[in-house]
Amino acid sequence: MDKLPASTGWQWVRQGLQLFRSQPGGLSTLFLGYMFFMLALGILPVLGQVLPIILVPVFSIAFMRACAHIEQGKRVMPGLLFSGFRKPAFPALFTLGMLYLLVAGLALGGSALVDGGALFQLFTGQVEPSPELMKDGSMGKAVLLAIALYIPGAMAFCFAAPLIYWQNMSVGKAIFFSFFAVLRAFKAFAVFILGWASISILLSQLIIILFGRSQLAMMVMMPMSVIVTVMLHCSFYASYRQLFGSPAAEALAPAEPPAE
């Protein structure tokens, strides 16, 4: 795999926009279904706090498959939402989600070295955000440390789910290939992240300019954030396609294991 120029990251952003424009309704409906399912899980005591995180790799397959369907001229249907629950991929995807939760927990836990655990308590809902807490200088350092600790994990998990689903890799092998794929294309991913961050900031500022800091602005901001998130998923598929190739039509769903 050759190293990619930094400009490739912006190409992924543009390709994601093109994919979204092909079927905006189907993709947005899929994401709304995902959000409603996550809200329903949140009602569960204890498990409702961790399952939405553990199932991130499982549900990410829905959006990857949706983009693959668009690429192959197929319609995005709501049934794609549960693609990641199919065997034999689901156990590996669920394991990946548990590892993702562990890495995220370690990153937040590591931030306690500089703020005494305030950031961890804030994210886990043990304390409420307050001006006094935000004014504490150690909080900013804790956020930076948590991000630094999280980045290697994010690189390892970035493509692990589709590699498990489409290329039948083991969890360990998928994590390995994902990490080094992102490492070799690090400049492109930096531009990719900066591009989407800039788009998000620009759109939010435009809404504030048009509607002010009002309730109407918040009402406009919510559907806009949904659209931006869906387009981000489309761009992520574009990056996977460039690095690992488009999935073949027959590979859109993993084969069921033979009956014994």
DSSP state of 46: T
Entry pTM: 0.85
pLDDT reported for residue 260: 34
Cα gap 125→118, rounded to integer Å? 11
Q: What is the pLDDT of residues 104-135, one digit of tens each?
A: 888 877 777 776 666 666 666 665 655 655 56
Residue 255 lies in a domain: no
Residue 194 lies in a domain: yes
User: Where are the alpha helices (H) located in the chain, listed in sequence order?
Assistant: 8-22, 24-42, 47-54, 56-71, 89-110, 112-115, 118-123, 131-135, 137-157, 160-167, 171-184, 186-211, 215-244
Mean pLDDT of 83-91: 92
Residue 254 lies in a domain: no
The answer on pLDDT for 249 being more than 60 is no
Q: Which domain holds residue 28?
A: 16-248
Residue 2 lies in a domain: no
Q: Which among 204, 226, 216 is positioned nearest to 38, based on CA atoms? A: 226
Count of domains forming the chain: 1
Mean pLDDT of 30-36: 93
The model's confidence at residue 213, banded by pLDDT at 50, 70 and 90, is confident
Residue 138 tokens, joined: 């150690």
